[in-house]
Amino acid sequence: MTFQVLGCHHHDSTVEFREQLTFTAEQAHTILSQLQQTHPDMETVLLSTCNRVEIYMAAEEQDLCPPQDAMIQLLADFHNLQPADIADQFQLREDKDAVRHLFATAASLDSMVVGEAQILSQVKDAYELATQGGFTGSVTHTAFQAAMRVAKRVATETTINQRRVSIPSIAVADFANRFFENFADKNVLVIGAGEMGEETLRYLIDQQATQIHIVNRDLARAQNLVERTQGEARPWEELDQLLVDADLVVSTTSADDPIVTVERFQAIAHQRHQRTLLVLDLAVPRDFEAAVGEFVGVYLYCIDDLDEVCQRNKDARSQQWPHANEIIDEESGLFMAELAHRSTGPWIQRLQDQAQQLKSDELERLLNKLGENANETVREELDIAFDRLINKLLHPPLESLRNGAHDADHRGLVDALKKLFRLKE
């Protein structure tokens, strides 16, 4: 049995490159159907996220899967690209490497933000999509179900996914949640339309924030951000009034000087009546003068404050990394042993059948020769003796095969067994 994964990841390819190869659910179904037509005995699952594009393949024999070049050609053709342009970015992993990779991916150890929970649901979705399309089989079922179990085990036995390590996620989950019970009725003001602001906004939307205003010097950019997320784009001139109404401000402009100075805030402070205002100033250089944080009811956090927590969480996660890796190693070893056991089972059965056939033939020949000299007792004793002989002869090779299920050269042992005993498919 073989289990392979061909993929490109955030580790060794740029986001621009990965964007060209992304698959929608419909496209994934199409390419998997194509593969099923050309390789009907192969099981496939396609995992396509913003950080990776991976095709998992499994079959009884390696030659039932397409070679790497053919797969690259297929992917390139599908996206109208040149195979030579993408070949270097793809990596093929086989058997234990591939299983280990799947388990590590599902457990979010291979993610850009280690421990983020989203990847597990993406793996589940990919598996379900392939199952619904009829592209999966016994090996992929076992592998993906094991991957989900391993991900849960890693989540339970380590704290690797309990601490956030991206600035936007920390800003919302670790800081904003200490101020607000819910975000549905809060006025959220996003100043600037940068990447960090957008990501923070997405986390806030996940937390049910609905009253969102985006203000930017270039109104068109604010409108673009609104289209990608949600909320309302407002002209720059309304900034002061929006500050009066805001409960939470996320500021991420690239302005060289502070936008909200003490004087500017002083002018509107009386209209806020000391209502709580959380300001997440994620801009460098800062958009809010530090002294604005001294107003009653204003809590001002800059990117350094968040980065400190980010670093601390990263350190805490790295302490959990060895244990998480041990779990992945242990589980992938167990899975490979199980897979090997399943793939050797039919060959062991075939060998035992062949030996039994040999025994029956030889016993029959001998009993015919002995004729009436062999009474019932002799016949029984001969039968037992032949059985014992077969068992003793087969025991050492079969035991080696079973014990070698964990070893890398297990497939070699099976091949040797097939050749030595001339076992047929």
**Active site amino acids:** 50
In whole angstroms, the minimum distance from the beta carbon of 70 to other proteins comes to 51
* Exposure b/e, 345-383, CB count within 10 A at least 16 = b: eebbebbeeebeeeeeeebeeeeeeeeeebeeeeeeebe
Tokens 């036995």 found at:
157
Does the protein bind other proteins through residue 391 (CB under 8 A)?
Answer: no
Does the protein bind other proteins through residue 180 (CB under 8 A)?
Answer: yes
The partner residues of 278 in beta bridges, in order of sequence, read 248, 299
In the complex with other proteins, which residue's Cβ is closer, 17 or 175? 175
CA 107 from centroid of its chain's CA atoms: 7
In the complex with other proteins, which residue's Cβ is closer, 147 or 279? 279
Rounded distance between C-alpha atoms, residue 97 and residue 43, angstroms:
18
In the complex with other proteins, which residue's Cβ is closer, 293 or 333? 293
Does the protein bind other proteins through residue 392 (CB under 8 A)?
Answer: no
**Residue 243: what are its φ and ψ, rounded to 5°?**
-65, -35
In whole angstroms, the minimum distance from the beta carbon of 354 to other proteins comes to 56
In the complex with other proteins, which residue's Cβ is closer, 130 or 283? 283
In the complex with other proteins, which residue's Cβ is closer, 100 or 163? 163
Tokens 């060209």 found at:
20
Rounded distance between C-alpha atoms, residue 222 and residue 230, angstroms:
11
Closest CA to 9 of 99, 101, 115, 96: 101
Does the protein bind other proteins through residue 395 (CB under 8 A)?
Answer: no
In whole angstroms, the minimum distance from the beta carbon of 245 to other proteins comes to 14
Residue type, 359: K
Q: Is the dihedral of CA 135, 140, 145, 151 positive or negative?
A: negative
In whole angstroms, the minimum distance from the beta carbon of 101 to other proteins comes to 32
Of the residues 47, 201, 309, 413, which one makes contact with other proteins according to CB under 8 A:
309
Does the protein bind other proteins through residue 157 (CB under 8 A)?
Answer: no
In whole angstroms, the minimum distance from the beta carbon of 276 to other proteins comes to 6
Of the residues 78, 236, 299, 321, which one makes contact with other proteins according to CB under 8 A:
299
SS3 state of residue 120 = helix
Closest CA to 310 of 174, 165, 169: 165
Rounded distance between C-alpha atoms, residue 5 and residue 97, angstroms:
9
Stretch that binds other proteins, among 5-13, 171-179, 237-245, 338-346 (CB under 8 A): 171-179
Does the protein bind other proteins through residue 369 (CB under 8 A)?
Answer: no
In whole angstroms, the minimum distance from the beta carbon of 288 to other proteins comes to 14
Q: How many residues does the chain have?
A: 425
Stretch that binds other proteins, among 65-73, 131-139, 175-183, 196-204 (CB under 8 A): 175-183
Contact in structure between 140 and 130 (CB atoms under 8 Å): yes
Contact in structure between 214 and 225 (CB atoms under 8 Å): yes
SS3 state of residue 4 = strand
The partner residues of 94 in beta bridges, in order of sequence, read 4
Region 259-298 residues binding other proteins, contact defined as CB under 8 A: 273-276, 293, 296-297
H-run or E-run covering 250: strand 248-251
Contact in structure between 122 and 25 (CB atoms under 8 Å): no
Of the residues 26, 181, 372, 376, which one makes contact with other proteins according to CB under 8 A:
181
End-to-end CA distance of the chain: 14
Of the residues 312, 388, 402, 406, which one makes contact with other proteins according to CB under 8 A:
312
CA 238 from centroid of its chain's CA atoms: 43
Stretch that binds other proteins, among 118-126, 130-138, 299-307, 371-379 (CB under 8 A): 299-307
Of the residues 178, 392, 419, 422, which one makes contact with other proteins according to CB under 8 A:
178
In whole angstroms, the minimum distance from the beta carbon of 271 to other proteins comes to 10
Does the protein bind other proteins through residue 177 (CB under 8 A)?
Answer: yes
In the complex with other proteins, which residue's Cβ is closer, 152 or 275? 275
Q: Is the dihedral of CA 318, 322, 328, 331 positive or negative?
A: negative
Does the protein bind other proteins through residue 308 (CB under 8 A)?
Answer: yes
Of the residues 94, 97, 125, 305, which one makes contact with other proteins according to CB under 8 A:
305
The binding site for other proteins (CB under 8 A) comprises 163, 174-175, 177-181, 273-276, 293, 296-297, 299, 301, 305, 308-309, 312
